[in-house]
Amino acid sequence: MESFSDTVLTAVERLQEISHMFQHGVMDEIRTVGCIRIYHSTTHEIEKFLPNGRSEPSVIVNLPDNESDCSRSKFDRYSAAGTSYLVTCRCERSIFRNGFAMPTFSGVIPPVVSPMIAPDQLDGPAVYRIVEHLVSGGVSGLFVLGTTGEGPSLTYQMRYEMVEQTCEAAAGRMSVLVGVTDTSLAESIALAGHAGSCQAAAIVAAAPFYFDVPQSALVHWFEALATASPIPVMLYNMPSCVGVVLESSTVDALSCHPNIVGIKDSGGDMDYFEDLSRRHRDRDDFVIFMGPEERLAEAVALGAAGGVCGGANLLPGVYTSLYKAARREDAAEIAQWKDVIRRVFEGVYFDDEGNMKLIPGLKSAMSELGLCSAVVAPPLSVVSRLHASRIRAVLPQLLETANS
């Protein structure tokens, strides 16, 4: 049976290998290696195995709860005698897992629609068309099984298939994030495991819905998910759908977990978003994404890493251009792209009675481009004939503007 010390030494050997790799140019993004820590879940003892020198990292063994800077780390999991060990590597620019760079999240990551042949049947070929459309549009990643992807409305078989086919279609060209929101922690953990086996980069989880529980219960739920997940976790604040806000203090607490790497905020409260940005602005290990696409530019100005923009399914270039303009603080170009997005809302998302029909409207527009059908999963319903006719009428002008 492998001892705890043997596990630590194995980890040290791996970290020395990493050090050798970047010193010889294999990992040329790394400038310096900081502190290597191993958290053992059953001991409070702190042990040092290597001197803290310039060329060799130090290794510390302790509990995450006792490590005030645990939020500055990402982890690898080592197993010995049935115990999990979290091995962390601090670097100036990149974090590594098993010798490979951890994914960094920024830019426009669209919440990919789930194309369907029928409400209970995924359209596999359409998944590939949509992924190619998004890749060619310059997005930075793909988020499947989110709200726009109708994740909670899909059968579990469809969810697993959507993860498999998206990761296969992406073929390592960009990060895939997977929504695992569920009322069952066990189901969320199972889907996280499947996402990891498909080489997804991270999972995204909103609070469990149905039962009214205190924030402390949510902390325990997310910590359990993050500890069990083989890949990093991004929190998802979505009060309009799950009925609870992830309070700033809750986010602060969860951000200290070594496997929680950021949050997507779709609450629509700019005061809340600004507070989040202020609290985490100087961190390189916890990113903040804006959900509402119309507020992307304002979010970037506040320090957001990017946006999860539903409209990018239809017009990816518009949203990536807006993000880049916001990064440059180009007010004129920001205004130009925001006007296009305003027209998307008016012509595609809202029906003729002024009701928001974002997902059905988006899928209707995408069906006009031959990307997928307009089929949605219950309880949603397809757009009316009048709404569909209006989408067909406005789409050519939107495409012309987007491509100009």
Q: What is the pLDDT of residues 132-178, one digit of tens each?
A: 999 999 999 999 999 999 999 999 999 999 999 999 999 999 999 99
Q: Residue 73: pLDDT band by 50, 70, 90 thresholds?
A: very low
Q: How many whole angstroms separate alpha carbon 12 and alpha carbon 76?
A: 12
Comparison of pLDDT for 4 and 149, the residue scoring more: 149
* CB atoms near residue 230 (< 10 Å): 16
Question: Is 236 tagged catalytic?
Answer: yes
Residue 80 burial by CB count (10 A; 0-12/13-18/19+): exposed, middle or buried? middle
Please say whether the beta carbons of 231 and 74 come within 8 A: no
Cis peptide leading into residue 316 (ω within 30°): no
**23 pLDDT above the threshold of 90:** no
Q: How many whole angstroms separate alpha carbon 105 and alpha carbon 287?
A: 7
* CB atoms near residue 254 (< 10 Å): 21
Per residue in 196-231, pLDDT tens?
Answer: 999 999 999 999 999 999 999 999 999 999 999 999
Give me the catalytic one of 236, 272, 319, 349. 236
pTM, full prediction: 0.77
Q: Which of 70-84, 160-174, 240-254, 278-292 has the lowest mean pLDDT?
A: 70-84
Interval 303-328 mean pLDDT: 97
pLDDT reported for residue 403: 86
pLDDT reported for residue 294: 96
Please say whether the beta carbons of 371 and 133 come within 8 A: yes
Please say whether the beta carbons of 321 and 359 come within 8 A: no
**56 pLDDT above the threshold of 50:** no
* CB atoms near residue 100 (< 10 Å): 11
Comparison of pLDDT for 285 and 100, the residue scoring more: 285
Interval 27-52 mean pLDDT: 31
pLDDT reported for residue 404: 77
Q: Residue 276: pLDDT band by 50, 70, 90 thresholds?
A: very high
Comparison of pLDDT for 1 and 159, the residue scoring more: 159
Interval 302-310 mean pLDDT: 96
Residue 99 burial by CB count (10 A; 0-12/13-18/19+): exposed, middle or buried? middle
Mean pLDDT of the chain: 81
Residue 394 burial by CB count (10 A; 0-12/13-18/19+): exposed, middle or buried? middle
Comparison of pLDDT for 317 and 80, the residue scoring more: 317
Q: How many whole angstroms separate alpha carbon 395 and alpha carbon 401?
A: 10
Fold type of domain 107-330? TIM Barrel (3.20.20)
pLDDT reported for residue 125: 97
**82 pLDDT above the threshold of 80:** no
pLDDT reported for residue 74: 33
Interval 318-327 mean pLDDT: 97
Give me the catalytic one of 74, 264, 338, 363. 264
Question: Is 74 tagged catalytic?
Answer: no
Q: Which of 194, 174, 178, 192 is nearest to 131 (CA)?
A: 174
**45 pLDDT above the threshold of 50:** no
- For the chain, the domains span 4-101, 107-330
pLDDT reported for residue 310: 97
341's CB contacts (< 8 A; 6+ apart) are: 293, 294, 311, 318, 319, 322
Q: What single letter denotes the amino acid at residue 158?
A: M
Q: Residue 94: pLDDT band by 50, 70, 90 thresholds?
A: very low
Please say whether the beta carbons of 316 and 107 come within 8 A: no
**72 pLDDT above the threshold of 80:** no
**17 pLDDT above the threshold of 80:** no
**44 pLDDT above the threshold of 70:** no
Q: Residue 13: pLDDT band by 50, 70, 90 thresholds?
A: low
